[in-house]
Amino acid sequence: SQKIEQNSEALNIQEGKTATLTCNYTNYSPAYLQWYRQDPGRGPVFLLLIRENEKEKRKERLKVTFDTTLKQSLFHITASQPADSATYLCALDMKDSSYKLIFGSGTRLLVRP
């Protein structure tokens, strides 16, 4: 069956450390993978997109990797801050031209001051 898995338990880290969130999928072949941030009571906000032929993408303190062999994406936030506390969602963006996304359930990140 098709699955997208993100850590269901919250990730609790100290300010200044690097947060690493995982997104694993099975029986999908995405052309792209996207990461979103969601704060309580708000809609998801787009952060980064990585293509299947890209190994790594960076934006400021954010880094995403995409391994199509392992069927896994890792999302890193370096020098984490309490303001980074939120739920982070990965989304598979398929090879068709539909722009339809399939979202994981999200991982909640808590950054302690």
Partner 1 sequence: DAGVIQSPRHEVTEMGQEVTLRCKPISGHDYLFWYRQTMMRGLELLIYFNNNVPIDDSGMPEDRFSAKMPNASFSTLKIQPSEPRDSAVYFCASTGVREQFFGPGTRLTVL
The window from 15-23, 38-46, 58-66, 76-84 that contacts partner 1 (CB under 8 A) reads: 38-46
Q: Which two tokens stand for residue 46?
A: 């787009």
Q: How far is the CB of 14 from partner 1 (least distance, A)?
A: 27
Q: Which two tokens stand for residue 65?
A: 């990797």
Place of tokens 């062999």: 69
Q: Which two tokens stand for residue 80?
A: 């984490």
Among 45, 52, 54, 81, binds partner 1 (CB under 8 A): 45
Told to check if 103 binds partner 1 by CB under 8 A, we report yes
Q: Which of helix, strand or coil describes residue 77?
A: strand
Binding-site size, partner 1 (CB under 8 A) = 20
Among 42, 53, 60, 83, binds partner 1 (CB under 8 A): 42
Told to check if 32 binds partner 1 by CB under 8 A, we report yes
The amino acid that residue 79 corresponds to is A
Strand-pairing partners, residue 8, are: none
